[in-house]
Amino acid sequence: MNGDQTATDEMLVASVLQGNQAAFRQIVERYTGLLMNIARNKGVGHEDQKDVVQHTFLTVYNKLSSYEVREGASFKSWICAIGQNAANNLRRSRMRKREVSSQKEDHDFEQVVRPSEQPIDQMIQAEELAEAEQAKSVVWTAIEELRNNPKYKRGAEYCQFLVLRYSENLSYEQIAACLKITIGKAYQWDRQAIEALQRIFQASHSLEEQPGRIHER
């Protein structure tokens, strides 16, 4: 059955179960593109789509002996269901990782304001660590103000973008898939979010310099 493109899925499955590894390669060739599309439509980033496909085929291979031809349920629908589960599981895993990361108080959010520079903790001397921690607190405060200030209509979206871009180090393409926006919009949000943070820092600095004025956070 090597290279027989006219073979049905059921014929290929039967051949694999008889020990024909070439038949399984035909299944891989036949469904790789479809599984990539499933992962993409589920919002999985480009770099992770291959992982979804690989995990799907591994699951299919391990469970192939339990596959049964049923009325109204084709092999295609079976493998697609496994692919959807793999994509959903990977997305949930990534989301949990982002949620845990966003809750850590030791994030180097100074990279949001100056992404081309190294984190503060790597730039300063040991005796300046206390000042670095204070600087982090200032950045956290600015992030929260950007999230909650009604002046910034997209404040919450900007904050989510900043975490994905500068904390999770995702590419613009991955961020666009996660947030369901275009890649062009992702570039635009990057510039707008950083400009908004800089305005917040400038306003805060201006208020603190006014005599007799206590700036409360």
Q: Report the chain's mean pLDDT, rounded to a whole number.
A: 76
CB 142 within 8 A of CB 204: yes
Q: What is the pLDDT of residue 25?
A: 95
pLDDT for position 213:
47
**Domain range summary for the chain, segments of one domain joined by +:** 9-62+71-94, 104-209
Q: Does domain 9-62+71-94 have CATH number 1.10.1740.10?
A: yes
Instruction: Name the more confident of 7 and 165.
Output: 7
Kindly report, residue by residue over 193-206, the tens digit of the pLDDT.
Answer: 888 888 887 777 66
Say if residue 134's pLDDT is above 90. Answer: no
Among 138, 69, 70, 76, CA closest to 109: 138
pLDDT of residue 152: 81
Q: What pLDDT, on the 0 to 100 scale, is given for residue 53?
A: 95
Q: What is the pLDDT of residues 147-187, one digit of tens each?
A: 888 888 888 888 878 877 877 677 888 888 878 889 888 88
Per-residue pLDDT, 206: 64
Q: According to the model, what pLDDT value does residue 23 have?
A: 94
160 residue type, one letter: Q
Predicted TM-score of the model (pTM): 0.44
Q: Measuring CA to CA, which residue among 168, 158, 171, 167 is closest to residue 94?
A: 168
Q: What is the pLDDT of residues 73-107, one digit of tens each?
A: 689 999 999 999 999 998 888 777 766 666 654 45
Tokens 């103000």 belong to 145
In eight-state DSSP terms, residue 140 is H
